[in-house]
Structure 1
């Protein structure tokens, strides 16, 4: 059986198993260690590079405005009464719906939603973007 190439056509997003729909762009899946530099007295030939903590970048998902757009505004409205962290799953899928990779994010909260910029002078596709912050990856996904 041949492996599926990592060419994603869409990204399916769920928050605590509630679908937010399909997105055509996903940016920011990543992590980095914060490195602290320490100089050692008497050792002028090097500087110690010590990993301290890990930082996770915010994830930005974009798509054309659809009926699913109401799911995002509903989620934001629910959070207005008090923030509760959720678990999110992002699945990269092919045109046929085959899951290529998936990432499970822990402690997700919405950071920002930006809706379409509508103008009669510019007949572009109306798009929206949601930005999510999280506390890290859970180990059960295929992309982790």
Structure 2
């Protein structure tokens, strides 16, 4: 039996995909970039424990606030871009200019050639995003590898929009 027969049409897991990030500024400002890896899509509800006086067998769990992880984006190092300038302005010059961004999970062109449509499979929207860290992976002159840059972003909140 073919492994794809267990999935409904359109639900087949992708082997290759990438993340397209569109930075939406005020007015017509816009930056776009592609990333290989994304992490930090996590939201948790802080719920401190509250005990009633004299009751040692029960504690109330009361929701208090929502916490979001940092958004971490990884890609191959590229030549200088508007995205890099935005990060450098924040980190080196302490000039923060928050953007809203859309993070889109997109199938790769090779998947599209195999009959999978090349359109967003999921979209997340982030509000008031600004950079808090930029990192370059270790570089080895004798390693035949791409150099990976990591961008860490803080944001107000995110929602899955598609």
Range into which the TM-score falls when normalised by the shorter chain? 0.7 to 0.9
2:77 counterpart of 1:70: no
**Distance in 1, Cα, partners of 2:21 & 2:99:** 12
Quick one: structure 1 residues 5 and 101, their matched pair in 2 at CA, closer, same or farther if it must change by over 3 Å? farther
1:37 to 27, 35, 49: 49
The 3-state SS of whatever aligns with 1:74 is: helix
In the TM superposition, residue 13 of structure 1 has moved relative to its aligned partner by 0.6
Provide structure 2 residue ranges, at least 5 long, that are not aligned to the other structure: 1-7, 113-117
The answer to which structure has the higher strand fraction is 1
Deviation at 1:138, TM superposition (A): 4.6
Q: Deviations over 1:48-99 (max 9, x none)?
A: 11110000000111111234x5233211234336213220110001113320
Determine whether 1:83 maps to 2:96.
yes
Whole-Å separation in 1 of the counterparts to 2:83 and 2:97? 15
| TM-score normalized with structure 1 length | 0.84
Q: Deviations over 1:25-51 (max 9, x none)?
A: 011111001111111012222111111
Counterpart among 135, 139, 150 of residue 118 in structure 1: 139
Q: Which residue of 2 aligns with 1:50?
A: 62
Partners of 2:149 and 2:88 in 1: how far apart? 16
Q: Is the 8 A contact 1:62 1:129 kept in 2?
A: yes
CA separation of 1:4 and 1:71: change in aligned 2, threshold 3 A: farther
Instruction: State how far apart, in whole Å, the 2-side matches of 1:81 and 1:55 are.
Output: 24
- How far apart are the structure 2 equivalents of 1:137 and 1:109? 13
Unaligned runs of 5+ residues in structure 1 are none
User: More helix per residue: 1 or 2?
Assistant: 2
Higher RCO (CA 8 Å, separation ≥ 6 residues) = 1
